[in-house]
Amino acid sequence: MKVPALIMAGGKGRRIGSKIEKPLLPFLGKPLIERVIEAARSAKNISEIYVVTSDYTPQTEEECLKKKLKILKTDGKGYHNDLKQAIIKEKLNFPILTIPSDLPALTGRFLDKIIRIFERKGKNALAVFVPLESRELLGLSVSSKDEFEGILYAVSGVNIINGKKTLNGGKIETAAYITDEIEVLFNINTQKDLDIAEKNLKRIVEI
């Protein structure tokens, strides 16, 4: 199956403490969001790419428009609100892949795998979680946590959700994929996260 992808890039990015919009922060010489866009474009099972922006990320929006990417502008009132707003605005009443703009090690191969897992699980949604200890062991921050089957995990931000369920309301049955693979282990919330990720990924990420 093929699904469209929403790259979430409309957050305030307060924790990073930079005047540069977080999606545009350089990571080993290349903006974070550019690495995510490259991963999405290289995925075989992504049919279309949208970038979700807000008034908090005007420069990100401008750069993405230069790359001929489709923009879905939202109010910037938080991940879940922005996602719902984007789904409603574009009438995305089918499965969609959500990707945060701060995963510098993301690859198209990993995204294709997540889409296959979603299809195999047969639920309305799939959430990708990272064990808390995997991030803490590296000294990385944990900005968002969620519980699955009684255990707290770090939220990676990579998810697949059936937009039809979001539009129609009601309970959404969610499956989970739990992993500490580098593609989602290194998401950037703070300057310290960025420094740790650059140090660990310097030999792995292609510049």
Give tens-digit pLDDT for 192-201.
999 999 999 9
Q: Give me the half-sphere count of Cα atoms (radius 13 Å) on the Cβ side of residue 138.
A: 24
SS3 199: helix
Other CB atoms within a 10 A radius of the CB of residue 203 amount to 6
**Are the C-beta atoms of residues 23 and 57 closer than 8 Å to each other?**
yes
Mean pLDDT of 92-102: 95
CATH number at residue 64: 3.90.550.10
Average pLDDT, the chain: 92
For residue 206, being part of any structural domain is answered with no
- Phi first, then psi: give them for residue 61, nearest 5 degrees: -60, -45
**Tell me, what's the pLDDT at 207?**
46
Does the structure show a pLDDT above 90 at 7?
yes
pTM of the model: 0.92
SS3 56: coil
Q: Into how many domains does the chain fold?
A: 1
For residue 79, being part of any structural domain is answered with yes
Q: Which domain holds residue 57?
A: 3-201
For residue 89, being part of any structural domain is answered with yes
Mean pLDDT of 27-52: 96
For residue 207, being part of any structural domain is answered with no
**Are the C-beta atoms of residues 155 and 176 closer than 8 Å to each other?**
no
Give tens-digit pLDDT for 107-165.
999 999 999 999 999 999 999 999 999 999 999 999 899 999 999 999 999 999 998 87
For residue 193, being part of any structural domain is answered with yes
Give tens-digit pLDDT for 45-79.
999 999 999 999 999 999 999 999 999 999 988 88
Strand 151-162 and strand 95-100: the pairing is antiparallel
**Tell me, what's the pLDDT at 77?**
87
Give tens-digit pLDDT for 161-207.
998 877 666 677 899 999 999 999 999 999 999 999 999 998 776 54
